[in-house]
Chains A and B, each alone.
Chain A
Amino acid sequence: MRDDAGTLLTLAGYFALLSLFAIGGANAAVPEMHRLAVDVMHWMNDRQFTDLFAIAQVTPGPNVIIVTLIGYHVAGVIGAVVATLAMCGPTAVLAYFGGRTWERFKDAPWRVAIQAGITPISIGLIAASAFVVAWAADHNWLAFGLTVATAAATYLTRLSPLWFFAAAGALGFAGFV
């Protein structure tokens, strides 16, 4: 654990920048987080990243909380706070002011075009996130089966995701996955 000022600055700058590219929410930015945390900065390995992702998923609250875990892993509690505020603060300010302006241009053609143009990109980004996590997590056929089964159950039923996580955790604990 390194908690010097340089590391904190890196965390803050990196997540503040990343948040601006997170079109479609925190989960859309998972591939970029993975690329930087694992491949570029070498803060953690592949398995640690998927572990943190799994912990963030089973924690209540917004999915962005994976950033808190990455920050903690890199620079302790201060790192956790710095990373989270950097990821959420700037865009929250943008949302505060943008929310008021945006309403005024509700029916402007350029606004409708922007919204129509952005939607498929955010879907593509979340699909990429799913692929990156599945690629790192599915290191055997049973894990792959678990991914497929959960995808099908999510698509076809309205069950709470908590049930899938509980079942998966139990299978993992029992040593099946």
Chain B
Amino acid sequence: MSGTPRSATPTSEASLSPASGPAAKPPTVIALFVSIVLISLCGFGGVLAWSRRMIVDLRQWMTAEEFNEAYALCQFLPGPNVVNFSVVFGSRIRGPVGAVVAFIGLLAPPMAIVTVLGVLYAHFGNVAALQRVLAAVAAAAAGLMIGTVGKMAEPLLRGGLNPGPFVALATFVAVGLLRWPLPWVLAVVVPASIAIAFRARR
């Protein structure tokens, strides 16, 4: 374990927030690992709420502002948000070792669980009752996503006449309805949307 604690580095580099780091002192690597495993195992239907509860409310390893900022970054970066967040969080708390520990702690337990479920599905996937259960859960999961999109879209719709809703709609039509390949859609939509946002700001 050669990880040097670096929790102070990013804030001092940005030199924007007054040095108001996390209230508690950085945890040991083991405490970090155990907490991330717990977050992962509790995180039904998404890990975000649980990580906030553990990191900000219970352990106070990050302030609410630090958490929001780190999470906003990970939403912007490509790839699974929460996995990215675990890496950013782990590295801020315990350097490179912290990043690796958080990555493994977040992914290993659900991978083990889901592989067991995958084995069971391979054997019993054609049992009628299981098929009905899974179909019903998938229908509910689709509803969960629709409701979440509704919540996420609220700030877009509240901002008066702005290009946001139209960009979201165009992306939805291209990828969801027309089923165009994602890379091609993004190659057009991403530069266009950023250009529009850049012009709107001036």
Contacts and interface: CB of A to CB of B under 8 A. Distances in A.
B182 A29 contact: yes
Contact of B171 (A51, A77, A125): A125
B42 A126 contact: no
A92 B141 contact: no
A175 B143 contact: no
Nearest to A129: B145
Interface stretch (B22-30, B57-65, B108-116): B108-116
B1 interface: no
Interface string A122-143: 1111111111111011110001
A109 interface: yes
A9 interface: no
What bracket does the count of chain B residues touching chain A fall in?
35 or more
Q: How large is the interface on A (under 10, 10 to 19, 20 to 34, 35 or more residues)?
A: 35 or more
B172 A99 contact: no
Contacts of A62: 40, 43, 46-47, 80, 82-83, 106-107, 110
A127 B148 CA distance: 9
B8 interface: no
B80 A154 contact: no
Given A51-B125, A128-B175, A130-B142, A59 B165 contact: no
A13 to B, nearest CB: 13
B42 A146 contact: no
A125 B189 CA distance: 11
Given A24-B75, A50-B134, A54-B137, A162 B45 contact: yes
Interface in A67-101: 68-69, 72-73, 77, 80-81, 84, 87-88, 90-92, 94-96, 98-100
A132 B176 contact: yes
B87 A92 contact: yes
Interface string B118-133: 1101100100010111
Given A88-B107, A117-B197, A121-B171, A60 B113 contact: yes
Nearest to B154: A155
Contact of A96 (B42, B80, B88): B88
A86 B133 CA distance: 30
Contacts of B119: 72
Interface string B174-188: 011101011100100
Contacts of B88: 95-96, 99
Given A95-B87, A131-B172, A155-B151, A65 B44 contact: no
Nearest to B102: A92
Contact of B113 (A52, A59, A164): A59
Interface string B145-174: 111111111001000000111011111100
Contacts of A117: 167, 190, 193-198
B114 A59 contact: yes
A84 B194 CA distance: 30
Query: Ordered nearest first, which 5 A-B pairs have the shortest CB separation?
Result: A91-B79, A154-B147, A61-B110, A150-B143, A124-B171
Interface of A: 17-27, 29, 31-32, 35, 39, 47-48, 50-65, 68-69, 72-73, 77, 80-81, 84, 87-88, 90-92, 94-96, 98-100, 102-104, 106-107, 109-110, 112-134, 136-139, 143-144, 146-155, 160-162, 164-165, 167-169, 171-173, 175-177
